[in-house]
Structure 1
Amino acid sequence: MREAELWQRMRTHLGAGYAAVWAEQMVLAELGGRTVVEALAAGVDCKTIWRAVWSRLELPATDR
């Protein structure tokens, strides 16, 4: 998964405005206690980040 796809999925589920705020503020244990933005900066794979976001948002399996 590319970073652009990660952001698109987040915008789809959180809305265009809120996705960026959520990504900067929501700390996810699955990402080592990082936010999405911090995980991206640290080089964490986008697919790993998406799985953490998917889990936190409790999205259906079809969105995984």
Structure 2
Amino acid sequence: MRFREFWQLVDEVLGSAHGRELTRSMVLGALGQRTPEQALDDGVEPRVVWHALCDELDIPDDKRWGADLGRQAPPRR
């Protein structure tokens, strides 16, 4: 997953204003007590950050990838 794809999913799945606020303010234990933005700035892969954010928000796998049914879900590591 690229940074561009991460931000597209944030906007589509969480809503642009709400999603962007969550990435700035929500501290996640799965990201070492960092916000998603801090984790990205520290070099954590966008795929890892996206999964951590979705896990924390209890977003089911089938809703994580937006409305584009052709979009392939990046594998978890």
Shared fold (TM-score greater than 0.5)?
Answer: yes
2: distance between equivalents of 1:33 and 1:40? Answer: 13
Q: Deviations over 1:9-63 (max 9, x none)?
A: 1111221111111111000100000001100110001111011011011111222
The one-letter amino acid paired with 2:46 is: C
The one-letter amino acid paired with 2:49 is: I
The one-letter amino acid paired with 1:49 is: V
Higher helix share: 1
Give the alignment of 1:38-53 within 5 angstroms: 38-53=38-53
5+ unaligned residues in a row in structure 2: which ranges?
65-72
5+ unaligned residues in a row in structure 1: which ranges?
none
* Percent pairwise identity: 34
TM-score by structure 1 length?
A: 0.89
Q: Which has the higher contact order (CA 8 A, sep 6+)?
A: 2
Q: Which moved more, 1:38-47 or 1:14-23?
A: 14-23
Q: What is the aligned-residue RMSD (CA, Å)? A: 1.2
Shift in Å, 1:8: 1.1
TM-score by structure 2 length?
A: 0.76
Length, aligned pairs only? 64
